[in-house]
Amino acid sequence: MRLILAAVAALLTAGGLAVSVPQAAAEPAPAACDNPFCTPGITPGVTLGAPCANTSYYVYGTTSWGRLVFCGSPRRYEPRYFRAMPMLGVRDLNSNCSGLDNSMAQAPDGLFLMCVASNGESTWQRGDA
């Protein structure tokens, strides 16, 4: 047994035995996300009207029956879960959203976004502002 271990050690030391380690494949570019089903960070099992904590990042949840809700704070009252308007997946802050007024989205970093019309242009803006 010692002879076999010594032979294997000698081969490894001398480089006589090549061990191939697979290289990690490059990560594919992220796919477009145009609906809530592919949006990361949605909390399952929340209750409509229940208190919630964060009105800025990862605000979306689903009820036990599958309704999409979001954590909001109307008129600066305590935050709670409300029914969501149409949610269009992941979008970039300040990007164009013409024709999607009053829709919701989430930025890649989890920021809550709303499509807001202002000065003749519709853009994705912070939903917690």
Residue 68 has phi, psi (to 5 degrees) of -80, 130
Residue 76 has phi, psi (to 5 degrees) of 65, 25
**What would the pLDDT profile of 70-122 be if each residue is shown by its tens digit?**
999 987 789 999 999 999 999 999 999 999 999 999 999 999 999 999 999 99
The region, left, alpha or beta by phi > 0 then psi within -120 to 50, assigned to residue 15 is left
CA distance 35 to 26: 26
**What would the pLDDT profile of 39-50 be if each residue is shown by its tens digit?**
999 999 999 999
Backbone CA torsion sign across 86, 91, 93, 98: negative
